[in-house]
Amino acid sequence: AIAGVADEGGKFAMSESEVDELLEEEFYWPKVGDELFPQGSSPLSAYIPKNPDVRGYHLTAGYRIAADILVDQTEEEVWLRDKLVFPILFCYRHFIELTLKDLLQSYGKLADIEPNAANHDLDQLWRNFRTLIDRMGDVDADDGSTPIVEGWVKEFKKIDPLSQAFRYPTGKKGAPFNAVQESIDLVNLQIIMVKMDTYFGCVGMWLHSLSDTP
């Protein structure tokens, strides 16, 4: 931030040394020749796959990793919490949605469940997922992990029913969103999401083993 002093009229003013320092800094401004997506590769390029399976994997992991990085940043810079809470919650919610959709897309056929890529309703996605694992003989039925994860998914559904609450300031008709939570412990949320990721990963491996069974 650039420091400054107020002049006699109370207006903000910079000292001569501060002006010189500003002029010496690299100043980013649009100029002719700038390209948003320049052609060709560079050491900083990121690969965007076309294969839906590969794309789905990177999307799902990417949203969770992005949220984790943002949570870590809020531990270093506390003032960012009230700003980054929105993309953090959106990324974690989208991670849950994409994970459920991927499992249903990959293994729903085992229980005659049709996937629905257009569905953003976590309740419906979870019901289809629960039907799938129940019909296959829920691998985690004995330890109670499935009802625990179900509770977490329902909590996310409550604070963000249709993946809108953390992307926009109001609903489509201008009405404010109902604030179910006034504050959120971001580090605790991060830990819970790691546990949820582990759960879904194990269920995915179990379903994969069943799909490979002759």
Span 83-130, pLDDT tens digits: 999 999 999 999 999 999 999 999 999 989 988 877 888 999 999 999
pLDDT in tens, 119-132: 888 999 999 999 99
Give the pLDDT confidence score for residue 6 in this predicted structure: 46
Q: pLDDT at residue 77 above 90? A: yes
List 176's β-bridge partners, or say none: 170
pLDDT, mean over the chain: 85
Task: Find the angle CA(59)-CA(47)-CA(62) to the nearest 5 degrees.
Answer: 25
* pLDDT, position 51: 92
Where is average pLDDT lowest: 31-45, 73-87, 142-156?
Answer: 31-45
pLDDT higher than threshold 50 for residue 7: no
- How far is Cα 150 from Cα 52, in angstroms, rounded to an integer? 27
CA distance 175 to 178: 9
Rounded CA gap, 74 and 79, in Å? 7
Give the tokens for residue 209: 């083993």
pLDDT at 79 over 50: yes
